[in-house]
Chains A and B, each alone.
Chain A
Amino acid sequence: MSQEGLDPREFLERLQGEHRTLRWAPLPPAPATQRWSEHPMTGEESLHYLHDHWALPDHVSGTETGGGVRGRIAGLAGRLTYRALGRYLHEERELLAHMVRMNEALARRCDELARAIADRQVADAENQARLAAWLQAEPPPGSRGEPGPVGEAVH
């Protein structure tokens, strides 16, 4: 650490010099937000697939087992199996239904959040631009020789 004295006036001049060229540009909305709006989660193919295929078969149809003795035996075995597992399969269907609904809700919420983030970024940029313009419009307090705060507390 340097122990030499620091002249604040010279230091300020150097600071002002360094900042004389303003390299400022508004921050563009994050690229991800555009991608999110172009490809909403509710448009995902997988979500459509889930909606179309969440209901799994809960019985054996005659067309699947075919005819003949072999078909009848297969149908009988199938019916027995579904009858034995019926309660489980019903619960599983309910579970799948809720999972699909949950996925749908999450997809909707994702899209809402993406829109909210994009809107917020735009509003933030506007707000900061207005603040900067307002602050720059007049000098800071105390720099106009205006009446000082006579009642200003010591602490």
Chain B
Amino acid sequence: MNAGPLATSTRAAGTDRGPARPVVVLLAARWSGDAEAAWFTRQVARSLLRRGDVHVVTLEGAKPAVSADHAVNGAVDDGARCTVHRLAVAPAPRLVARREVLLAALSTVEARSGRPIGPSVDRLLREGESEPWAAADESVLTLRPDLVVLAGYRQVGAFDLWRRVVPDTPLVFVPLADTHPAVGLAHFDPIFDRASATLVATGSEYRAVTELCGPIRRDPERIHRVGLPATINAEVRADVERPPSDAGPGGGEADSGSGVVMFTGCGADEHDRPVALARLAALAFPRVRVTVVSTDALDVWFGGERTRSPVPEGASAVLRLMGGAAVTVDLRPGALFARRCIDSLLCGTPVVVPADSRARQHAESGAGGLWFSSPGELIWCVEAMLEPDVRRRLGAQGKRYADAEFASTPAFVDRVEAVIGRVGAR
């Protein structure tokens, strides 16, 4: 068997530095990048460092490699280490595409039924799942982990690795259950069933998993909502917490930052619905500064004219845009926890979001905004938000909610730590 990039035992490294620290292996298909799932996985890893050395095993990478993750390591100073083992194995695109089609088809009829999937279909779904992870078998065995954390409910191959190699090691599951109903398919039940604990980020993810996944529905004690460490940096916070201007929403010298900020989540000229919705809003409010942030351009509409510029780089610039706006409209919120909306609420700016998106929780439970089911409702919601009294009240409520739920990194780490402690990691 190929020893793979995990061959270097970190137990030996632990011995060099004194008493061996507990070893946590985190299996994550994706580790780097700005996607919400990868970001949340990194936050969990950061919390796990309190428990011991963390070894991330990921399919990513151009070639097999082992390296320290300085970004994660920089967050802790107690000698724990995060090491990333890149397997550099890409699942066959043909099999991935077939699996996606099958999951989409099955989700429409089977997701809520709880019925087991037929063996032939199950075999098709499994084809090619385990092979990419098999490269790490011997390495994980060598690491002798005290705890295995599996990120992503679709990583059946990673689950097979755990079951094959270290089945007696406690397993903590981070499903990263987005809005796709496939999470409810019985195909994924064994992971929920075997995991000692399941960690979810938000209340809406908690509800989705509890409602859709049979093993969790039967035993809801095993699922834990740990929230998010979605803090914004102090400088940006100071900037956006300036007293709001009394000027109208139209913009101009006295109130240049106000208006509507819309995120399309796609290219500025793509033939996609969010682009059309953003243009509709720009048409509907010609006397309001409407800033449309796409993946490749930033358009400012005012007085029927459009000014295009590059998207400002860095999270701070986007935060400042939202912080200075009357309302943030996220036309394609993140499918896991809608981070942009949380950031907007942390800045005190209310949100308008699609009704069936993850972001709705922030608008509804957090009372921080409104949600729409049709283009007409989108326009009414934005119009209502342009009323100073409405936006100030919803903005204040949303900020209180976001501060309480998501703004504390120590609280997040404590919650993850508490769950890990409960599953009995050594």
Contact = CB atoms under 8 A, between A and B. Distances in A.
A154 B35 contact: yes
Interface residues of A, number: 39
Contact of B335 (A19, A135, A139, A148): A148
B390 A154 contact: no
Contacts of A145: 107, 179-181, 356
A4 interface: yes
Interface in A138-155: 138-155
Given A5-B397, A135-B280, A140-B375, A150 B178 contact: yes
A5 B393 contact: yes
Interface stretch (B10-18, B82-90, B120-128, B363-371): B363-371
Given A128-B283, A145-B181, A147-B180, A135 B273 contact: yes
Nearest to A143: B356
Nearest to B230: A154
Contacts of B369: 8
B373 A140 contact: yes
B24 interface: no
A23 interface: no
Contacts of A128: 283
B277 interface: yes
Contacts, number: 145
Given A6-B394, A15-B384, A147 B104 contact: yes
Contacts of A155: 34, 315, 318, 339-340, 343
Nearest to A9: B364
B151 interface: no
Interface in B217-273: 265, 273
A140 B397 CA distance: 26
A49 interface: no
B376 to A, nearest CB: 7
Interface in B174-191: 178-181
22 contacts: A1-B392, A6-B390, A8-B364, A8-B371, A8-B394, A11-B370, A131-B276, A135-B374, A136-B374, A139-B374, A140-B373, A142-B353, A142-B356, A143-B373, A145-B107, A146-B179, A147-B100, A147-B335, A148-B357, A149-B335, A152-B332, A155-B339
Given A15-B377, A134-B276, A145-B180, 16 more contacts: A1-B389, A3-B393, A8-B364, A11-B370, A135-B276, A140-B374, A143-B355, A143-B356, A145-B179, A147-B335, A148-B180, A148-B336, A150-B335, A153-B295, A154-B340, A155-B343
